[in-house]
Amino acid sequence: MTAETITAEASGIWKLGDLPVHRLGFGAMRLTGSAAFHLGTPSDRERSLAVLRKAVELGVNHIDTAAFYFSSLRSANELINTALSPYPDDLVIATKVGPYRDYHGEWGTAARPDQLRGHVEENLRQLGRDHLDVVHLRRMRQDSIAEHFGALAELREAGLIRHLAISSVEPRHLAEALEIAPVVSVQNRYAVDRPDPEGDEVLRLCGEHGIAFVPFYAVAGEAGEAAEAGSTTAHDEAVLSVARAHGVSPAQIRIAWTLHQGPHVLAIPGTGNPRHLAENVAAGALRLTDEERARLDEARARRG
């Protein structure tokens, strides 16, 4: 099978609350321009729209986005709305609130709890929806997330949000949130080249509670948001050798490793490149041997 004929179905299914999604999803952050957030060169609009349509054609039904994903001329939410609405019934759009950027793209003060309704409404307007499927509270270094998460729980009660989620959290924040309302997803930075005992613990806790664990920068790795389009960070020899054995790219092995961390672990690789999209979806069909997984895990531990 070529990359183009493999669909996201091959990655299996996980339920975000009552919403089933293929475990291989898509992150919209790279659709807006040459730099992740900042005022880099805006993306080619038609190319970004084509990537979104192709993603859905390839079976992707979980898209992660945010109102703060924009460059001078492009907004991820507007691109999603234009490319995909009327939305397919099975499409789950997850978004994030908390961080704030002004009209010039400068980062402002993170939202206070009473400002979160405005953040949710901005996403509703841009996506053209009456409610949001999944909303992550993106923690902005606050020690306790209780007040912010409580404010989102009220918006869920009011019918603006179907399911709640949290992002960039430690185990204690997950416990705090679960005291307040159900959590369907935790989105944290997590990658094969980043030893992260606390992240491992959050991943394990999510599994115990039946919550999705959704890594970001799984492909970008150490480079994070600074990863230049198409150039991921230097790969460990372990990643390169497993990639050679399967005849696939290192990025695909990074995604496969992510999905092998547990049935509740989802992938949301971000790309503005149609070829990378097909590759990333095809990575959902890769099956690593125990020996290969051990080799990747050992290389990760050695970085610690």
Ligand X SMILES: NC(=O)c1ccc[n+]([C@@H]2O[C@H](COP(=O)([O-])OP(=O)(O)OC[C@H]3O[C@@H](n4cnc5c(N)ncnc54)[C@H](OP(=O)(O)O)[C@@H]3O)[C@@H](O)[C@H]2O)c1
Q: Is 71 in the site for ligand X (CB under 6 A)?
A: no
Q: Is 187 in the site for ligand X (CB under 6 A)?
A: yes
Q: Is 220 in the site for ligand X (CB under 6 A)?
A: yes
The question of whether 69 is a catalytic residue gets the answer yes
Q: Which is nearer to ligand X, 151 or 216 (CB)?
A: 216
Q: Which stretch binds ligand X (CB under 6 A): 6-14, 84-92, 107-115, 227-235?
A: 227-235
The count of chain residues that interact with ligand X, using the rule CB under 6 A, is: 32
> Tokens 């001329």 appear where?
73
Q: Which is nearer to ligand X, 107 or 294 (CB)?
A: 107
Least distance from ligand X to the Cβ atom of residue 267, Å: 8
Query: Among 193, 236, 279, 292, which residue interacts with ligand X (rule: CB under 6 A)?
Result: 279
Query: Among 17, 27, 199, 284, which residue interacts with ligand X (rule: CB under 6 A)?
Result: 27
Query: Among 249, 259, 286, 299, which residue interacts with ligand X (rule: CB under 6 A)?
Result: 249
Q: Is 232 in the site for ligand X (CB under 6 A)?
A: yes
Q: Are 181 and 146 in contact (CB under 8 A)?
A: no
Q: Which is nearer to ligand X, 46 or 291 (CB)?
A: 46
Q: Is 11 in the site for ligand X (CB under 6 A)?
A: no
Which residue numbers are catalytic?
69
Binding site for ligand X (CB under 6 A): 27-30, 36, 64, 96, 138, 167-168, 187, 216-220, 225, 227, 229-230, 232, 249, 251, 268-273, 276, 279-280
